[in-house]
Amino acid sequence: MAKKVRQIRTGRPPKDVSDGISDRILNTALTLFTTQGFTATSIEQVALACGSGKHTIYRRFESKSDLFSAVMEFQKQKFFDLLVSIECKRENPLETLKESCRRLLELIVSAEIVDFYRMTISEAEHIPKIASNLQCEESPSFLRILDLVIFAQKSKDLNSIDPKFLTAQLLQIMTGYPLNEVLLGSKEFSSHSKRSKYFEKAWILFINGAGRSKKKKIRKRPI
C-alpha cells in the first residue's frame, strides 16, 4: 500500500489568513507596548507572545518603530469601526453627531486608551514622529465626525462655518480636554454619571456656539 505523501504548502498564505496573522501581531504588540512601554518591548517578545516567528513580523513591519506606527493606525481604525456602527439618522443628523461624540468620550477615557496615550507620550522624545500622529485631521475618527458635521450643516442644524475648524473644536471638548484631565490624574470622568454630566454641558456649549439660531416670531400687536 502506497504511503500518502504529506503536501507541504509553499508560498504566501491566502489574504484572509495573512490579515488574521497581522491582526494578531498588532493586538499582541498593542498589549505589550501599553503595559511595558515601547523601549522595553522587543520584536522577540511580540513574536513569542503571538506565536509567530520574527521573520513573519519583519515581513510585515520593517522595524519596531514601523510596528508601533502600525499599532497606532490599528487603534485609529478600531475607533472608526465603533463610530460607523452608529446608524446615521438622515431625518436627524444632529442626533447622530451627538451619539458619535458621546461614544468618542467613553472611548477616549477608557483605561486601555489612556494607558496607550500615556505610553505614547512618554516615548515621543525618542520617536518624534509618533507624537504628530496622536491628533491628525486625516484620522478615520476625525473624518467621520467631519462628515457628520457637514451633514448637519446641510440640514441647517449647524451654522455654515468652516467644517474642519468646527470639527476640531468639537473634538477638543469631547476628547482632547477629557483625555488631558485623565492623564493628569483628574477623577472628573471616573464614572458613567460624571461623564454623562460633562457630556451634556459640553454639548450645550457646542450647540450654543455653533448651532443655527432660530429667529423668533414677532407677534404683531393689534391696532
What's the pLDDT tens digit per position in 14-66? 555 566 888 999 999 999 998 888 889 999 999 999 998 899 999 999 999 89
The C-alpha cell of 15 is what? 489574504
The span from the CA of 57 to the CA of 26, in Å, is 10
Per DSSP, the three-state class of 18 is helix
Q: In the predicted model, what is the mean pLDDT of the chain?
A: 82
The span from the CA of 52 to the CA of 124, in Å, is 28
Contact 127, 65 (CB under 8 A): yes
Among the listed residues 41, 84, 92, 81, the one whose alpha carbon sits nearest the alpha carbon of residue 64: 41
What's the pLDDT tens digit per position in 182-194? 999 999 999 999 9
Chain-centroid distance of CA 171 in Å reads 11
Residues whose CB is less than 8 angstroms from the CB of residue 171 and which lie 6 or more positions away in sequence, other chains included: 104, 142, 145
> To 10 degrees, what angle do helices 64-84 and 140-154 make?
30
What's the pLDDT tens digit per position in 53-107? 899 999 999 999 899 889 888 877 777 777 777 666 677 889 999 999 999 999 8
Among the listed residues 105, 115, 119, 113, the one whose alpha carbon sits nearest the alpha carbon of residue 178: 105
- Which pLDDT belongs to residue 8? 41
Instruction: List, in order of start, the domains of the chain with CATH numbers.
Output: 17-61 (1.10.10.60), 72-210 (1.10.357)
- Which pLDDT belongs to residue 15? 54
The span from the CA of 176 to the CA of 108, in Å, is 9
Residues whose CB is less than 8 angstroms from the CB of residue 170 and which lie 6 or more positions away in sequence, other chains included: 101, 145, 149, 206, 210
| Residue 7 pLDDT level (bands cut at 50, 70, 90) | very low
Contact 175, 203 (CB under 8 A): no
The span from the CA of 199 to the CA of 98, in Å, is 10
DSSP string, 52-111: --HHHHHHH-SSHHHHHHHHHHHHHHHHHHHHHTSPP-TT-HHHHHHHHHHHHHHHHTSH
Whether residue 205 has pLDDT greater than 90: yes
